[in-house]
Amino acid sequence: MEKVVIIRYAEIHLKGKNRGYFERVFTVNLERSLKGIRHELHRISGRYLIANFDEERIDEILSRVSRVFGVHSYSLGLSVPNTLDDIFAAAKSVAPQSGTFKVDTHRGDKKYSLTSMQINAEIGGRLLDENKALSVDVHAPQGYVYIDIRENGMALVFGQFFEGAGGMPVGTSGKGLLLISGGIDSPVAGYMMSKRGMNVEYLHFHSYPYTNEQAKDKVIELARLLSRYALTEKLLTVSVTHIQEEIHAKCAAELNVTLLRRFMFRIAERVAKRKEAKCLITGESLGQVASQTIEGMTSSNAVVSLPVLRPLVGFDKNEIIERAKKIGTYETSVLPFEDCCTVFLPDFPAIKPKLSFIEEEESKLDIERLVVEALNSIEEYRF
Ligand code: ATP
Ligand code: MG
């Protein structure tokens, strides 16, 4: 009898011919997520098993598995030979000590000599004989004994299904570059694209010394928290201080934000192309702030040729907050450090800036020089 973590995968099976590829990526991701913990990973048809693991770290193993995209559900259970005696021995240690229970059998191996119903009856009967404090309730039991008859003479016995992160294995949907701020929204946007299988890299703009070191540390921490799902290893940062100073000195104040955002997009696109990322990702949500009107989004889209994905575009703030809490970034996002967008913030930002006005103001700036200077300030943080 061996303790195992049973992993069932999601959506991968939908991919037909590509199934082999999806499984290879998924395997690599599982291995990466378990890095530093002793374990063996085995694939059996339709399942993965983590075996021979460091039992003292089982809670950590389960929480890491819970964040791997592509996992549909997982269980902590026992792997035994598929004889009734072995299955019963495992069932005893999985079953509740008292109260009501139900045995629920699934046969992956349809050639097994007993039907699922017969196995339920046999194991359920033996459990009742063994422990008088137990009774069967097939409708609303307090506890379950799940039996999964696998091929190769193996059976898996467990008491609970935990819901996995769902989605698709990271790396199966190309690469994108997330513009990550210290706010609540962009980490959630990154999470959502990772969940769809995208490999997400992170780019952050800072205005040091107007923004301080703690503001940067906060973003590094957010990126690290996201990486537990996205498996990204680093964050890139770029300084836009000189750009903000020039905009502030030369251009109409109500366009500060609009112009800065266009610079952010231009810089991000250059970085994305270097990294072979196929799109930009932002945490914008329609109408949330003055710069997130359709006109504002159009004006930033106009300076790039890569598509800009905005997975939160139709979300309310409270829906975003709920997700941020669920994925564990909210507490960090609400720490009070300034972001570059709040430096030089005009009293009345333009809500529906006209493109002709934007271009007129921008013509006062040496755009290419400013972009190249920004790109020369790239720093890399690994976590
Ligand atoms: P967030 O909560 O993600 O900061 P927000 O509601 O504060 O969003 P804005 O500050 O207008 O909105 O930013 C909109 C989007 O632009 C962000 O979601 C993010 O993708 C990008 N962005 C804003 N500031 C930065 C920054 N300093 N570095 C990188 N990306 C940024
Ligand atoms: Mg922000």
Q: Which of 289, 304, 9, 321 is nearest to 165 (CA)?
A: 9
User: Residue 251 Cα, ligand 1 centroid: separation in angstroms?
Assistant: 22
Do 25 and 167 touch, CB atoms closer than 8 A?
no
Q: How far apart are CA 61 and CA 75, in angstroms?
A: 11
Ligand 1 pocket, 204 CB below 6 A?
A: yes
User: Residue 358 Cα, ligand 2 centroid: separation in angstroms?
Assistant: 21
Q: Whose CA is nearest to atom 22 of ligand 1?
A: 181
| E strand map for 152-259 | 154-158, 162-163, 175-179, 199-206, 234-239
Atom of ligand 1 nearest to the CA of 283: 18
**The dihedral sign for the CA sequence 245, 281, 228, 27:** negative
How many separate helices (H) and strands (E) can be counted in the chain? 13, 15
Q: What is the pLDDT along the chain (383 residues), one digit of tens a residue?
A: 999 999 999 765 566 777 888 899 999 999 999 999 999 999 987 899 999 999 999 999 999 999 999 999 999 999 999 999 999 999 999 999 999 999 999 999 899 999 999 999 999 999 999 999 999 999 999 999 999 999 889 999 999 999 999 999 999 999 999 999 999 999 999 999 999 999 999 999 999 998 888 999 999 999 999 999 999 999 999 999 999 999 999 999 999 999 999 999 999 999 999 999 999 999 999 988 778 899 999 999 999 999 999 999 999 999 999 999 999 999 999 998 777 666 677 778 888 888 999 999 999 999 999 999 999 999 999 98
Domains of the chain: 2-163 (3.30.2130.30), 175-382 (3.40.50.620)
Q: Whose CA is nearest to atom 31 of ligand 1?
A: 181
78's tokens: 């026992």
Q: How far apart are CA 187 and CA 167, in angstroms?
A: 17
